[in-house]
Amino acid sequence: MEHIRNFSIIAHIDHGKSTLSDRLIQAVHIVADRDFKDQILDTMDIERERGITIKSQTVCLPYTAKNGKTYSLNLIDTPGHVDFSYEVSRALASCEGAFLLVDASQGAEAQTLANLYLAMEHNLEVIPVINKIDLPSADIERVREQIEDDLGLDPERVILTSAKEGIGIEDVLEAAVNFLPPPKGDPDKPLRALIFDSHYDPFRGTIVHFRVFDGRIKAGDTIQFMSNNARYKVEEVGIFQIVRKPRKVLSAGDVGYMIAGIKTVSDTSCGDTITLKSNPCDAPMPGFRESKPVVFSSIYPVASDEYEDLAVGLEKLKLNDSALIYEKDSSAALGFGFRCGFLGLLHLEVVQERLEREYDLSLILTAPSVQYEITLNDGEVMIIDNPSLYPDPSNILMTREPYIRAAIIVPDRYMGAVMKLCLDRRGINRNYQYLTRDRLEMIFELPLAEVIYDFYDKLKSVTQGYGSFDYDILEFRETDLVKLDILINGERVDALSQLVHRDRAVERGRRACEKLKEEIPRQMYKIAIQGAIGAKIVARTTISPFRKDVTAKCYGGDITRKRKLLEKQKKGKKRMKMVGQVEIPQSAFLSVLKTED
């Protein structure tokens, strides 16, 4: 165990975690140069296209240090986006140390601080690394000061690297060997291992990723999951070196995978403890904090016969993404589907894209909403996230919505723009403080419903990309909530209903009507699109009908001849309007979700 090091790379978005992982993998030559590609640990197409990490990935690096000894370095590459901070906390539970990357030109940002606190919660040894020192705008001394003042880390331990150019990679590997502690544990005790991830392989069943804390595990052992007492015979254990490399045995301190013919996806859950059936350990490992979804949306298949495929797809995705929750749901307009909970809008987009790509499904999503707490006149308290469950307004005593504490770090020249953005979103300015000469941290309390929509994009726009944002959920506070219905030709479309604050209802209704007008095709009759709160119409647009030129053959003569033909056409259109059913294309449902940009 003296020769094992388990560590993670944590940082804000785009500070170079995946690139540094690439260089470390190249430095130890576990992949031939001809097989190497950038972002090698990002296995999903969607990660490579967007240039972000979504899933934390493990790789075992064999490294011969300057002292002549060979070490096994288990590296876990983590995501940086606030929506996936849950992935980071899971990765850190199986490590003893972490490298905290800071961009040499951007400095410490909101997620840098959030990830540092996560690492401190797990009592990890943190080594600061200043990356991107080759950039013309790099200011290494200023970032050193930030590491000492803002992060409270030792500036003498800082490692200078440029992952892109391959500078300082050897120093990172040496620091892992010399400064990070080896894992603790006893290989002779009963087996105790923590599941921190898993994925589904169509040929081998569920593949479990785990870290061994005590004992040993080998092929042929009969294991037991402590949460549900499910028992399996181990077929194969091994380590990750880009591909799976089988090993005879994994003992205390190792990070690896296990295949045990687990066919039912629901049996494995992250944070569960694995032990041996013949010699179980006395108590399970402390698991992970349950992640709480904050954004809710319903997902429906476009073709109703794809419902079963969607159910299977969600179950397999849940294995790989334990922060996703879902339950059955139905709608008069869209049929059967699932109500899903997500950690943020990026998480929602990623789940939608993965379902469409990996399981070949066509999906419709409803407008995202948050959970509201509704107190009825008889004292009953309801928690709802679905507009279709909204009770009769006359029975409601009080509604409350969730608020967040947002920490926004920006250069001070953008202070006014950020203030305006937050106050427009019903924000309350709590305080602000200068972190350095020209960077300040602004603390706002904002309603979560205003943040999930497009706040992050707007923040990046008004701060020209320099603003960074992190948030924690505070509590529920009283609000004036209304249900905005969309009517098409007088009929309510339940999939387009939204729960909004009364001040925003008219603006949101107008925008939805305008978007639908662009998407719904014209008919032979007039189509009215309306936004309504209860019986009160607050917004309306009309799609004009196609018009056949009935007077084309009517030349000259008295005007009454033309008028007679037009009146006749009007009567026909009236009759059509009474029976006209409007086909709403899939793009119309999606257009309501998109912001005005």
Q: Which domains does the chain have, with CATH numbers?
A: 4-179 (3.40.50.300), 192-276 (2.40.30.10), 295-365 (3.30.70.870), 372-479 (3.30.70.240), 483-593 (3.30.70.2570)
Of 348, 412, 360, 248, the C-alpha closest to 590 is: 348
The whole-angstrom separation of Cα 110 and Cα 158 is: 20
Cβ 313 vs Cβ 355: under 8 Å = yes
pLDDT by 10s per residue, the chain, length 597: 788 888 888 888 778 888 888 888 888 887 777 766 666 666 666 766 666 776 667 888 888 888 888 888 888 777 766 667 667 777 777 788 888 888 888 888 777 877 888 888 888 888 889 888 888 888 888 888 888 887 888 888 888 888 888 888 888 888 888 888 888 888 888 888 888 777 777 788 888 888 888 888 888 888 888 877 888 888 888 888 877 888 888 888 888 888 888 876 667 777 778 888 888 777 777 766 667 777 888 888 887 788 888 888 888 787 767 778 888 888 776 778 888 888 777 788 888 888 888 888 888 887 778 888 888 888 888 888 778 788 888 888 888 888 888 888 888 888 889 899 888 888 888 888 887 777 788 898 988 888 877 777 788 788 877 777 777 778 888 888 888 888 888 888 877 888 888 888 888 888 888 888 888 888 777 888 889 988 888 889 888 877 777 776 777 778 888 888 888 877 776 666 555 567 777 667 666 665 554
Q: Which residues are annotated as a binding site?
A: 14-19, 131-134
- Bridge partners (DSSP) listed for residue 48: none
Q: How many helices (H) and strands (E) does the chain have?
A: 13, 31
The whole-angstrom separation of Cα 506 and Cα 510 is: 6
What pLDDT score was predicted for residue 597? 47
Residue 81 identity (one-letter amino acid): H
Of 475, 483, 473, 438, the C-alpha closest to 452 is: 473
Q: Which two tokens stand for residue 384?
A: 């709802």
Give every CB contact of residue 234 below 8 A, 6+ residues apart in sequence.
217, 218, 219, 220, 221, 222, 223, 258, 259, 260
Cβ 83 vs Cβ 55: under 8 Å = no
Looking at residue 523, what DSSP letter applies? -
The phi, psi pair for 183, rounded to 5°, reads -65, 150
Q: Which two tokens stand for residue 534?
A: 């209860």
Residue 531 identity (one-letter amino acid): G
The whole-angstrom separation of Cα 219 and Cα 505 is: 61
The whole-angstrom separation of Cα 217 and Cα 208 is: 13
* Edge-to-edge order in the sheet of strand 231-233: 231-233, 222-225, 273-276, 192-201, 205-214, 255-262, 236-241, 243-247
The phi, psi pair for 142, rounded to 5°, reads -65, -40
What pLDDT score was predicted for residue 327? 86
| β-strand pairing of 527-533 with 536-543 | antiparallel
Residue 85 identity (one-letter amino acid): S
Q: What is the 3-state secondary structure (H, E, C) of 207-262?
A: EEEEEEEECEEECCCEEEECCCCCEEECCEEEEEECEEEEECEEECCCEEEEEEEE
- Record the pTM: 0.71
Looking at residue 14, what DSSP letter applies? T
What is the secondary structure of 548-564 as a DSSP string? Answer: --TTTT--SS-HHHHHH
The whole-angstrom separation of Cα 237 and Cα 219 is: 6
| β-strand pairing of 159-160 with 125-131 | parallel
Cβ 394 vs Cβ 378: under 8 Å = no
Give the torsion sign (CA, 146, 152, 158, 162).
negative
Give every CB contact of residue 211 below 8 A, 6+ residues apart in sequence.
6, 93, 94, 193, 194, 196, 254, 255
- Bridge partners (DSSP) listed for residue 441: 409, 433
Q: Which residues are annotated as a binding site for GTP?
A: 14-19, 131-134
- Bridge partners (DSSP) listed for residue 483: 499
Give every CB contact of residue 519 below 8 A, 6+ residues apart in sequence.
585, 587, 588, 591
